[in-house]
Amino acid sequence: MPKRPKPSAPLIIEECSGKSGQAWLIESLHHGLEETPVLKEFYPHLDFDELVAFASSSWKRRKEKYNSFFRFLESSPSVYQIFSEIYSTGFAKLNYNKQISSTQQAKHQKLNPFHGRDLEERLNEVALEAVEKLIHQLQQEPCEYVFDIQYSQRKAMLGMNDYKLRRMPFHNVYPKGIRIVPGYAAEIGRIMSEYPREYHFAVPKEVPSPTPTPTIIIPPPITPPSTKGQINLF
C-alpha cells in the first residue's frame, strides 16, 4: 500500500502563506482541522491540497455564513456535492496564497498523488459513518480562538461561559506577528502527524459487458414430398 510523507512545517507555511505571508488561511486551516477531526478518515482518499482547501474554507464558511451553510448541509446533498461547494471558493483562496519553493516541490508532489483526478470516485469509497460524522461536525457552530493572554478577559466578557472559547497554548503567551504563522504551522504539522500516511486510488468501475444479441436461427423452408410416379387411387 503506497505511503506519502508527513507535511513539514516549512511546507505548510509555503502552502498557506507563501505569497502573502498573512495568517488568515493557515489560521482557518488549523481551526478546520481542529473542529472536523473526522477528516483524518477522508485523508487517504484526498490530495493534501484538497484537504487544505476543504478544512480551511469549510471553517470560514461556517464562521461567515453559518445559517445558509447549515441549510445546505441539511438538504442532505451527496458528499461529492459538499466538497464541490467548498472547493468552488476554497481552491481560489489556496492558489492565491500557495507558493511552493523548489526545495519543497518533490515532497509537495508526493503529498498530492491523485492530482485532483477522480474525486467523486474517491469520496464514494469513504465509509458512510465517516460521511455522517463529517456532516454532523460541519453543522456545529464554529468556536472562537484566543491567545492565552486574551483568555481570561474574553471569558469574563462572555459571562464566564467558555463553552465555545478555545485557547491556543501552542502560541507564545505574548504572540508577535512574525511568530504566528510558524506557530500555526507547527501545530498543524503535529495534528497531521497522527493522520494515516497510506492512500488509496479509487477502484475503477467495471464497464458492464454489452448483452449479446441472441442469434435467431431461421429454419429452411419445408419442401413437400414429390408426387411424381405415384398412382392416385381416388
Q: How many Å from the N-terminal Cα to the C-terminal Cα in the chain?
A: 91
Displacement of CA 131 from its chain's centroid (Å):
11
Which range marks the domain in which residue 126 is found?
A: 9-141+177-192
Q: What is the pLDDT of residue 222?
A: 54
Domain count, the chain: 1
Q: What is the pLDDT of residue 233?
A: 39
Q: What is the pLDDT of residue 20?
A: 84
In a domain, 169, yes or no: no
In a domain, 208, yes or no: no
In a domain, 66, yes or no: yes
In a domain, 149, yes or no: no
Q: What is the pLDDT of residue 206?
A: 54
Residues 93 and 52: beta-carbon distance below 8 Å:
no
Q: What is the pLDDT of residue 77?
A: 81
d(CA 9, CA 95): 18
Q: Which residues of the chain have pLDDT under 70?
A: 204-234
- pTM summary value: 0.85
Q: What is the pLDDT of residue 49?
A: 98
In a domain, 172, yes or no: no
Nearest one of 112, 99, 97 to 43, comparing CA atoms? 112
Q: Which amino acid type is present at position 83?
A: F
**33, 35, 38, 42 alpha-carbon torsion, rounded to 10°:** -40
In a domain, 78, yes or no: yes
The runs of H, that is alpha helices, within 18-118 are 24-35, 39-42, 48-64, 66-74, 79-97, 105-111
Q: What is the pLDDT of residue 88?
A: 95
Q: What is the pLDDT of residue 194?
A: 97
Q: What is the pLDDT of residue 25?
A: 97
d(CA 65, CA 67): 6
In a domain, 228, yes or no: no
In a domain, 230, yes or no: no
d(CA 123, CA 58): 17
